[in-house]
Amino acid sequence: MTVRFKQFPGVSLSEEDFRQGKVLYQMDELKAEYAWDSGIAIGAYLAGLKRGVILGVRCSHCRKVVVPPRTVCEWCFRPMEEYVELPDTGTVNTFSLCYITWDMRRISEPEIPAVIHLDGTSELGPSSVIMGGILHKLGEVDPKEVHIGMRVQAVWKPAAERTGAITDILYFKPIR
């Protein structure tokens, strides 16, 4: 994993250990369900993903192009209505090698979350404080090979399996 950590010491506690009463606690399970109305901008974005397109939006005032779309430019507070179809390629802006899963299991083959600066969107710089980035995972790549500035492309779910969700893109892989 790293130079000093070749493996984790000890045994991690599992959900089962708690369930079997090996650890003392007061138990209450929160069964909360929420929906999130996706609305105009994110609704359009998700519909775009379903048909295999990444939609961004352009601010007619400051000319920024950002992804995902939103109805207001957070920088100049003008409405954003000019939707643009973006290529599904971009450049890794930052990434991490993540040795713990969503549900707190340690893993020795890391997951690779990354911010991908999509082609055709605004860059951070003197003219913009907002980048057109998409947060996703990288796949089909050796963790040791990943680097900032790496060129990547989206790998999509088959069209029939897409549901209009961020997971319609499986991951981004290096462009070779």
Partner 1 sequence: MSDRVAIVGVGWSGFRPKTPDLSYKELMYEAAVRAYADAGVDPRRDVDSFVTVAEDFIEGTSIFDEYVPDQLGAALKPVHTITGDGLHGLATGVMLIRSGIARVVVVEGHSKASNLLTPDTILAYAQDPVLNRPLRLNTHFVAGMEMHRYLYESGTTREQCAAVVVKNRRNALRNPLAAYGADLSLEEVLFGPPLAWPLGKRETAATTDGAIVMVLAAEEVARALRQDPIWIRGIGWCNDSPSLESREWGNLPYIQEAAQMAYQQAGLRDPWNEVDVAEIDDTYAYKELQTLEALGFCGYGEAGSLLESGAFDLDGELPVNPSGGSLGVGHMLDATGLMRTLEAVFQLRGEAGAHQVEGAEVALVQSWRGVPTTSGAVAILSN
Binding site for partner 1 (CB under 8 A): 26, 28, 30-43, 70-72, 74-77, 129
**99 backbone dihedrals φ, ψ, rounded to 5°:** -95, 15
Q: Least distance to partner 1 from the beta carbon of 21, Å?
A: 17
Report in angstroms the alpha-carbon separations of 165 from 13, 52, 100: 33, 11, 24
Tell me if residue 19 falls in helix, strand or coil: helix
- Supply the DSSP symbol for 158: P
> Measured from the CB atom, is 4 or 31 closer to partner 1?
31
Q: Please state, in angstroms and rounded to a whole number, the distance separating the CA atoms of residues 118 and 116.
A: 6
Q: Least distance to partner 1 from the beta carbon of 4, Å?
A: 32
Q: Least distance to partner 1 from the beta carbon of 26, Å?
A: 6
Residue with tokens 């007061």: 26
Which residues make Cβ contacts (< 8 Å) with residue 86, sequence separation at least 6? 53, 54, 55, 56, 65, 67, 118, 119, 120, 121, 132
Q: Least distance to partner 1 from the beta carbon of 79, Å?
A: 8
> Measured from the CB atom, is 38 or 167 closer to partner 1?
38
